[in-house]
Chain A
Amino acid sequence: MKAERLVEMANQIADYFRAEPDRQEAIVSAAHHLRRYWDPRMRKQIIAHYEASGEGLNEIARAAVGRLAGGDE
């Protein structure tokens, strides 16, 4: 899938959780959402994008995908 589309979707998810007062909780929640609702190929591709450059990912999304990449979800 196009990385731009996945980035856009991940950023939307991160934007929702950004309202959490606790930044770490926002990151964990965003990562958990990606884990529960994204097909493995989508997660694999967003992780690959993150590991390549992560271009376009906002702060929360980048950290959330980082958690996926690190196997924390």
Chain B
Amino acid sequence: MYAIDYRDRGTPPSTSSTLVTVDIDGRSVTVPAGTSIMRAASLVDLDVPKLCATDSLEHFGSCRLCLVEVEGRRGYPASCTTPVADGMKVRTTSDKLMQLRRGMIELYVSDHPLDCVSCPSNGHCELQDMADQHGVTDTRYGLDGANHQHAEVDASNPYFRFDPSLCIVCSRCVRACDEVQGTFALTIQGRGFGSLVSASQNESFLASECVSCGQCVEACPTAALVEKSVIETGPAESAAITTCAYCGVGCSFKAEMRGEDVVRMVPNRDGHANHGHACVKGRFAFGYATHSERVLSPMVRDAITDPWRETSWEEAIGFAATRFRALQEKYGRDSIGGITSSRCTNEETFLVMKLVRAAFGTNNVDTCARVCHSPTGYGLKSTLGESAGTQAFDSVMKSDAIIVVGANPTEGHPVFASRMKQRLREGAKLIVIDPRTIALVRTPHIEADVHLQLRPGTNVAVVNALAHVVVTEGLAKDDYIAERCEVDSYRTWATFIADPKNSPEATEAITGVPASLVRKAARIFAEAGNGSIYYGLGVTEHSQGSTMVMGIANLAMATGNLGREGVGVNPLRGQNNVQGACDMGSFPHEFSGYRHVSDDAVRGVFESHWGVPLQSEPGLRIPNMFDAALEGSFMGLYVQGEDIAQSDPNTSHVVAALSAMECIVVQDLFLNETSKYAHVFLPGSSFLEKDGTFTNAERRISRVRKVMEPKAGLADWEVTVKLANALGYPMDYAHPSEIMDEIAALTPTFTGVTFDKIDRLGSIQWPCNAEAPEGTPTMHVGTFVRGKGKFLLTEYLPTTERTSSRFPLILTTGRILSQYNVGAQTRRTANVVWHSEDVLEIHPSDAEARGINSGDWVGVTSRVGGTLLHAVVTDRVQPGVVYTTFHFPESGANVVTTENSDWATNCPEYKVTAVQAVLVPKPEEWRKHHPMVLQVHDSALSGQGVGV
């Protein structure tokens, strides 16, 4: 069932630039050539009956309800499969057409239960609508013949149910899985009357290849596939457009509501980032917002060993403000700071940044992007002039060759992955650069042309080798470089990169990638008409993360692949508002719009607007805050929406730092690992409970709309306002739109952004200003933001994190589709059905050498800590490499990661940790001999229970 307020036009729009005019039932309509009669009719408010057609899918022509009459043509063509032609005259209704349609509907109804009143789709069922429209209340064929009334219901999926008795075998679900999602998990099994929708090889939905994106459920015209939430809650009464709170794709959704209850989340077909698609997290995993573990009352305690004491907002905020000021009095102004969240809105992030700089009077503000994409900001600003991706997601549909490096889009950014797979099925070439055999390397209907399976930590050597081939084989776009780039920087770089040490043959010993594959990949990319690069944390979370981002930008410039559609450098952001949090000035050295705090003119504007003097020196980054805490010069922290004790590396170091601080204020939905060290807990509000905006990985600013009152009484931005006022710094906003107005007034790339404009346009990609009043889908068109593109040298330097006889394996980390980051949200949903614990992937040869089988407990130790994980023996990882995720606190993945970090930004090197893995027959015995940080948690946390 598509969104309750959506008007489906039956077939997708045509992209033709040629227009044709047709007459439909006496109404003239001009549409692009290739438009179906069905769609053209819909555009003049004539809805032709249909069942197998929906505008998210290509036409199919099976239900025979959409028959029409075309003047001068014989028969009754299906309007969904028949394109309009100039001058065509069409009739959509006649006695004969009604007779034909009624006959078809009778056949459908003859094998369909007629108890519509008790059906969860009652009122939104397309078969019901068709029967009503055509006056079919019974069937001449009776209901006693062969039927599917007793077919077994498949309720295996936690979020939806398949009832074959309600299925009309229209194939919309199968086509949705194929065309939109690209998983090809469904098929119609059997023939004729025996035709049935089947998942994989006639398996249950849960056991099949189905990835639970829900596209089939939405496509279903009846209740054969229906959300369990609809069955449980009842039909929705209203819908509001909002933006997903999960990954950086930033899908637009309609939150369908029944009172204050979310009935379901339906991806918005008019959404610019997702065009009506969704993944299992965004569509289904919203239950955390109303989970019983939400903390709804502020809490305080004098010491972290005390139990929490529930209190009023006023006391909690006063407690925090008093403590923060006391710390500044005792240890100095710069002894406190704050961390903004990529899970919060732009407006909330901006306010925390303002609170720290203006109310605290320090620049000790940082954001969780520190530990993910800070090298993106540094690398792209240095080379191209702007700290952001260059394209819209739609751009991939014009790519001829795509490099995916250090990213796993089918797991981490599934909706974009589906779009990319559509383009790959159309014939674009694919180059995957990843230590693991990720799904894109070989998945239904997709196979990478080249997989460069490099050793972890050797990204820069690989990108240098690719560039070496481009330069030395004469594949560089000299005209583009001469026109668009600093020629001197190119010459210096070209000399550097052409050095034989950067050749594929020389780097093969470092990277483990055969030189012939590197040469093949470089040629594919350089010789493609449009080459695009998509990357993720496998690029940034390295000691050379920033260098690798520069290397990617260098490669794109050298091949002329920036400044138009189909090309570009595209960071896939992990959290929904990583881009926004960075844009809002969350880094300690820069204000919103990426302007350094030492710039007197910029700082002066902020000082004038905010009415206080601001510091001109950069503040502490998150890892620096930890170091300073242990040294005794950083003693108080306000953390909004980030669980640093779980997500940051070397947990024992983080825990020691947090324990050393004298006032930690955590604002979050749930008690988490960090709150174990906190003195004040301020309840957060979910994305359903507040207004604001998120900015996704394509710089797209989209609205977040409040559909229910904040469960704890205050939205997050209101909490920050109260804290500022308690600190004696006045803040006064009636609505988040006023905060955006302030952002626009202070940020050159946002000057044209208002809530009203976003509402009008649907979304806006910044820069949005006088030069680009409706936003900028593609950056660097004609000229780079910095003027000329700058090539920077990217010498490969091996990480200091080396394997040894004690730690012979490299541990690398990543994500899985069903879970999200530290799991605070998804662990509290039925998504645990798919992934209930983090596991260790280990290659068969490494496993055999250690006597490890799948399912065994494995002790994983590094130079800083150890943890226990269950093994999965798989050749997805290469020999010498093991892999895990970090979604569950009890698995302690970051207990073993080290403080190694990117040279430019201190982004942690999560992707390379030397470890040993051993079979552990008796986990309890192993724990006794390998004290883990979890035990530190336990000892510190006697007081985690809530005292009332």
* Chain A residues proximal to chain B, CB less than 8 Å: 1-2, 5, 9, 12-13, 15-16, 18-21, 33, 36-42
**How far is A1 from B623 in the complex, measured between Cα atoms in Å?**
11
Distance in Å: Cβ of A27 to nearest Cβ of chain B: 15
Chain B residues near A9 (CB, 8 Å)?
A: 901, 903, 906
Mark contacts of B881-925 with chain A using CB atoms, 8 A cut-off: 1 yes-contact digit, 0 otherwise: 000000000000000000101011110000000000000000000
Knowing A1-B627, A1-B628, A37-B589 touch, does A16 contact B620 (C-beta < 8 A)?
no
Q: A15-B797, A16-B547, A36-B589 are in contact. List 16 more A-B contacts (CB 8 A).
A: A1-B628, A1-B630, A1-B631, A5-B899, A9-B901, A9-B903, A12-B543, A13-B903, A13-B904, A16-B797, A19-B793, A19-B794, A36-B596, A39-B363, A39-B621, A41-B633
Query: Can you report 23 A-B residue pairs in the complex whose CB atoms are below 8 A from each other?
Result: A1-B624, A1-B628, A5-B899, A9-B903, A13-B903, A16-B547, A16-B903, A18-B795, A19-B496, A19-B795, A33-B904, A36-B618, A37-B589, A37-B618, A38-B618, A39-B363, A39-B364, A39-B617, A39-B618, A39-B620, A41-B334, A41-B628, A42-B624
Q: Is the CB of B627 within 8 A of A39?
A: no
Interface of chain B residues 611 through 666 with chain A (CB within 8 A): 617-621, 624, 627-628, 630-631, 633
Interface of chain B residues 460 through 484 with chain A (CB within 8 A): none
Residue of B nearest to A22 (CB): B492
**How far is A63 from B794 in the complex, measured between Cα atoms in Å?**
21
Residue of B nearest to A41 (CB): B633
**How far is A12 from B545 in the complex, measured between Cα atoms in Å?**
12
Residue of A nearest to B589 (CB): A37
A-B pairs, top 4 by smallest CB distance, nearest first, are A12-B903, A19-B795, A19-B793, A1-B627
Q: Is the CB of B628 within 8 A of A36?
A: no
Residue of B nearest to A2 (CB): B627
**How far is A53 from B547 in the complex, measured between Cα atoms in Å?**
30
Tell me the count of chain B residues lying within 8 A, CB to CB, of chain A.
33
**How far is A2 from B903 in the complex, measured between Cα atoms in Å?**
17
Knowing A16-B547, A33-B904, A37-B618 touch, does A21 contact B492 (C-beta < 8 A)?
yes
**How far is A21 from B499 in the complex, measured between Cα atoms in Å?**
13
Distance in Å: Cβ of A38 to nearest Cβ of chain B: 7
- Of B496, B588, B598, B797, the contact of A39 (CB 8 Å cutoff): B588
Mark contacts of B436-469 with chain A using CB atoms, 8 A cut-off: 1 yes-contact digit, 0 otherwise: 0000000000000000000000000000000000
Residue of A nearest to B794 (CB): A19
Q: Is the CB of B624 within 8 A of A16?
A: no
Chain A residues near B795 (CB, 8 Å)?
A: 16, 18-19
Interface of chain B residues 593 through 620 with chain A (CB within 8 A): 596, 598, 617-620
Q: Is the CB of B619 within 8 A of A39?
A: yes
Q: Is the CB of A15 within 8 A of B631?
A: no
Chain A residues near B543 (CB, 8 Å)?
A: 12
Chain A residues near B627 (CB, 8 Å)?
A: 1-2, 5
Chain A residues near B631 (CB, 8 Å)?
A: 1-2
**How far is A60 from B630 in the complex, measured between Cα atoms in Å?**
28
**How far is A42 from B631 in the complex, measured between Cα atoms in Å?**
11
Chain B residues near A1 (CB, 8 Å)?
A: 624, 627-628, 630-631
**Which of A1, A12, A16, A39 has the largest number of chain B CB atoms within 10 A?**
A39
* Chain B residues proximal to chain A, CB less than 8 Å: 334, 363-364, 492, 496, 543, 546-547, 588-589, 596, 598, 617-621, 624, 627-628, 630-631, 633, 793-795, 797, 899, 901, 903-906
Q: By DSSP majority rule, is chain A's interface helix, strand, loop, or mixed?
A: helix
**How far is A15 from B906 in the complex, measured between Cα atoms in Å?**
15
Residue of B nearest to A39 (CB): B620
**How far is A65 from B627 in the complex, measured between Cα atoms in Å?**
20
Chain B residues near A12 (CB, 8 Å)?
A: 543, 903
**Which of A2, A33, A41 has the largest number of chain B CB atoms within 10 A?**
A41
Q: Is the CB of B793 within 8 A of A15?
A: no
Chain B residues near A5 (CB, 8 Å)?
A: 627, 899
**How far is A41 from B333 in the complex, measured between Cα atoms in Å?**
12
Residue of A nearest to B615 (CB): A40
Chain A residues near B619 (CB, 8 Å)?
A: 39
Distance in Å: Cβ of B490 to nearest Cβ of chain A: 14
Q: Is the CB of B903 within 8 A of A15?
A: yes
Chain A residues near B618 (CB, 8 Å)?
A: 36-39
- Of B496, B547, B617, B621, the contact of A40 (CB 8 Å cutoff): B617
**How far is A55 from B797 in the complex, measured between Cα atoms in Å?**
22
**How far is A16 from B492 in the complex, measured between Cα atoms in Å?**
15
Chain B residues near A21 (CB, 8 Å)?
A: 492
Knowing A1-B628, A37-B589, A41-B628 touch, does A20 contact B793 (C-beta < 8 A)?
yes
Distance in Å: Cβ of A22 to nearest Cβ of chain B: 10
Distance in Å: Cβ of B501 to nearest Cβ of chain A: 11
Residue of B nearest to A1 (CB): B627
**How far is A41 from B621 in the complex, measured between Cα atoms in Å?**
12
Residue of A nearest to B492 (CB): A21
**How far is A1 from B633 in the complex, measured between Cα atoms in Å?**
9
Chain B residues near A18 (CB, 8 Å)?
A: 795
Residue of B nearest to A16 (CB): B903
Residue of A nearest to B495 (CB): A21
**How far is A24 from B130 in the complex, measured between Cα atoms in Å?**
79
Distance in Å: Cβ of A13 to nearest Cβ of chain B: 5
Distance in Å: Cβ of A48 to nearest Cβ of chain B: 13
Distance in Å: Cβ of A49 to nearest Cβ of chain B: 13
**How far is A37 from B370 in the complex, measured between Cα atoms in Å?**
13
Q: Is the CB of A16 within 8 A of B496?
A: no
Residue of A nearest to B795 (CB): A19
**How far is A18 from B547 in the complex, measured between Cα atoms in Å?**
13
Chain B residues near A13 (CB, 8 Å)?
A: 903-904
**How far is A53 from B793 in the complex, measured between Cα atoms in Å?**
31
**How far is A9 from B904 in the complex, measured between Cα atoms in Å?**
9
**How far is A70 from B203 in the complex, measured between Cα atoms in Å?**
73
Chain B residues near A16 (CB, 8 Å)?
A: 546-547, 795, 797, 903-904
- Of B598, B620, B624, B633, the contact of A36 (CB 8 Å cutoff): B598
**How far is A15 from B619 in the complex, measured between Cα atoms in Å?**
23
Distance in Å: Cβ of B903 to nearest Cβ of chain A: 4
Chain A residues near B630 (CB, 8 Å)?
A: 1
**How far is A13 from B596 in the complex, measured between Cα atoms in Å?**
19
**How far is A33 from B381 in the complex, measured between Cα atoms in Å?**
14
**How far is A21 from B904 in the complex, measured between Cα atoms in Å?**
20
Chain A residues near B596 (CB, 8 Å)?
A: 36
**How far is A5 from B543 in the complex, measured between Cα atoms in Å?**
14
Distance in Å: Cβ of B901 to nearest Cβ of chain A: 8
Distance in Å: Cβ of B906 to nearest Cβ of chain A: 7
**How far is A19 from B631 in the complex, measured between Cα atoms in Å?**
34
Distance in Å: Cβ of B716 to nearest Cβ of chain A: 27
Chain A residues near B364 (CB, 8 Å)?
A: 39
Distance in Å: Cβ of B381 to nearest Cβ of chain A: 12
**How far is A40 from B905 in the complex, measured between Cα atoms in Å?**
16
**How far is A37 from B905 in the complex, measured between Cα atoms in Å?**
8
**How far is A18 from B906 in the complex, measured between Cα atoms in Å?**
19
Chain A residues near B628 (CB, 8 Å)?
A: 1, 39, 41
Distance in Å: Cβ of B335 to nearest Cβ of chain A: 10
**How far is A13 from B899 in the complex, measured between Cα atoms in Å?**
16
Distance in Å: Cβ of A53 to nearest Cβ of chain B: 19
**How far is A2 from B797 in the complex, measured between Cα atoms in Å?**
24
Distance in Å: Cβ of B212 to nearest Cβ of chain A: 43
Chain B residues near A19 (CB, 8 Å)?
A: 496, 793-795
Chain A residues near B906 (CB, 8 Å)?
A: 9
Chain B residues near A39 (CB, 8 Å)?
A: 334, 363-364, 588, 617-621, 624, 628
Chain A residues near B633 (CB, 8 Å)?
A: 41
**How far is A15 from B797 in the complex, measured between Cα atoms in Å?**
8
Distance in Å: Cβ of A11 to nearest Cβ of chain B: 9
**How far is A5 from B898 in the complex, measured between Cα atoms in Å?**
13
**Which of B363, B364, B904 has the largest number of chain A CB atoms within 10 A?**
B904
**How far is A21 from B631 in the complex, measured between Cα atoms in Å?**
38
Chain B residues near A37 (CB, 8 Å)?
A: 589, 618, 904-905
Distance in Å: Cβ of A14 to nearest Cβ of chain B: 9
**How far is A18 from B795 in the complex, measured between Cα atoms in Å?**
9
**How far is A40 from B633 in the complex, measured between Cα atoms in Å?**
12
Distance in Å: Cβ of A57 to nearest Cβ of chain B: 15
